[in-house]
Chains A and B, each alone.
Chain A
């Protein structure tokens, strides 16, 4: 089967690519567009390392087909900062040492950003349940949750 021509906006930039019907959006991002910030940890939507925003909705890009992205707006980890000014979450993660190996970090940052945009004042329990779809094997989640709560507090007073 021949590839389809797909048009999207990724991190604010108009982008086009060719997608085979069986390619996931994650495959497209990583292999066709060389945006390797989103990671494949499982390929079955269980680990969240591939988390992105699709038309403002948090999704696992391994569960979205490349062809489904046609006409949609995509936000990945590569677009999270603003030039050389990192997003407050990125800064807090570094401050709190909320990452060790860093493989889950892009997915967790995207997910945490989605949470804070939806709910600027989450409780610890809400943060934990929101991030339940993002596996981390290194940190035990403690410093991640602290970093998200601290960022939320900062952003509310900013």
Chain B
């Protein structure tokens, strides 16, 4: 295994760091690219899902006979068609999922736990008949009281979602079940001592609402199971291998029986790391022995696919007069939705992570409520906990009359700092992003009436993980590169760039594709900001190994030992300045048959050493005191990328994450009625930022290389959504001179606060 530690820093890079056109671009701007709902097969059926109209109820009976008898209906499934799986936790991106819960989430067994929970599914020859069949399915429910808020769910007489839920992480274990799935705790030091040393202590409680990842493409898949039990699945997903794993387990099939092909993906942000329709489509197809296509409506996406948690957060920070933090304490209560598994762990780990702490404790609770099960959303948990800490930091800055960036610089985590969750950090760019923010013209631009400026920093770990790639030298010397991680943001471009840089050939020589699950070894999903880091590492390793093979072939052709052959600028060259002998990639490829056969290679790694990415954002807002409406006037996002392989796509991550954060801060929330039914399951009233809501998002890429990656790469995709919540909230607070402690800062909330000032 090659030494993958970063070696290319000093080299004169020709391709990495430039901005070539993406290789998959033409198809995307012409409508040719195929997404999840764009594929059809002959003899195809339409699959539809019957969903619970109630937030919490027992299923007394389901009668599907009339539906099954309707002409044109080819299969109907209920929980009877799925085996019950025992409890087993497995990773899905940066979250853990449980197979017992997954079985129940994709198809309710004896209870429905949220409005929209799947109760049955049908496959019919067209959508109209499928819809008619759904109306013929008779479900008898026994309504149960429901609970939507974490603090209500914790109360001793709260409606109980799972009668076998005993809180994990509490010693001794509770005797009675509750809605608290888990308690976590991180930290070190002596909090009492730390708070006693403080000159100022600020303690605040915050509240956030669940928000959806908001991908414009709804969940969609096309399943086709043959009479011999072999299945093909076309699906929009961040993780085809993970989908294969989960579906084979749920359907009692072997992994090799399901071949998953990832379509182009119309946004995921973590929400497409889990399964909803896929096992249903496969089960229907298996029953009908015909392909089944299933697509969610936008209403279904919002009602029944995971948002991220809403939360209650309590933060207490003690500081010296000069701003140095002496102690930090936080309690987080995250909504898990109907089944355990909120991002309470990462949320708790990140809360104070931008800072060097001496005395710190974060306690977190994962609490179930009658809402859809949460799924990962871009830095899961981080935006929520860091929003609270960054808000308190801003209040501290105000009270001590300190510049908020200076306050952060005084406490910034750096290389060698012990992170609140345990390990010592390697090189990170917290200080660098703060300095860049201070020096940026935005920070000293004048402000007008009703305007305010907010800053906030953000931390996210990033992950590595299992990754396989394969590389083939084609007969004409061009290169095929097969990746196993779906491209959600332009990664095919960066992979081709790194491969071309290593090989010393033009980027156009390389054609990168995303392979299906039968073409490669296991790849962990696209998520955790891991692709440029992990797939990039695997690509570099593949190319370095194939260069050895190419040198070997040249050595054979020249009848010399391999030590006499070097690889320079895409050519094998005989060492020694007198000898101009060289062979191009094309010449070596054409001679491949003579020298041993096709020239192929690949890499299989479990990438470790992913470095955290730090960011600091600056935002100016204007708040209209008559309407409570906040206008974002100016936004600057500064982030450490380690090394930006393709700067345009790094900037794109920063801008996209910042705008999602703006939506989270100002407008996005779920509105439920008293019966636990969602009132805004559509883009009109679940209001995400539109083009006219935001200004240009200026970006500054800082590069503190990650020594564990050959190009110094750090994942960048997730960190951008962490700072905006507090940055915007701090800006609104300063514009109105009111400290806000809840999100979203929608006009009614802001106006009510202004009017009661």
Contact = CB atoms under 8 A, between A and B. Distances in A.
Interface of A: 20, 22, 30-31, 34-44, 46-47, 49, 76-78, 80-81, 86, 90, 93-97, 99-106, 109, 124-125, 127-129, 131-146
5 contacts: A36-B38, A39-B266, A77-B30, A97-B652, A146-B696
Nearest to B38: A36
A93 B70 CA distance: 49
Nearest to A134: B691
Contact of A137 (B25, B26, B688): B688
B298 A99 contact: no
B28 interface: yes
Given A94-B22, A128-B692, A100 B216 contact: no
A43 B269 CA distance: 22
Interface in B13-62: 19, 21-22, 25-26, 28-35, 37-38, 40
Nearest to B266: A103
Nearest to B301: A42
Contacts of B269: 137
Given A94-B25, A100-B649, A101-B266, A135 B32 contact: no
Interface string B680-715: 001110001111111011000000000000000000
B519 interface: no
B648 A143 contact: yes
Nearest to A92: B29
B31 A138 contact: no
- Summarize B's interface: helix, strand, loop or mixed: loop
A126 to B, nearest CB: 10
Contacts of A93: 29
Given A36-B34, A42-B683, A140-B659, A20 B128 contact: yes
B30 A90 contact: yes
A103 B128 contact: no
Interface in B455-499: 488-490
B489 A138 contact: yes
B217 A100 contact: no
- Max chain A Cβ within 10 angstroms of own Cβ: one of B26, B31, B214, B265: B31
A42 B38 contact: no
A101 B30 contact: no
Contacts of A81: 30
B609 interface: no
B296 to A, nearest CB: 10
A106 B215 CA distance: 15
B377 to A, nearest CB: 11
B692 A129 contact: yes
B506 interface: no
Contacts of B21: 94-95
Contact of B267 (A34, A35, A137): A137
B236 to A, nearest CB: 9
B658 A140 contact: yes
Given A43-B297, A101-B266, A94 B29 contact: yes
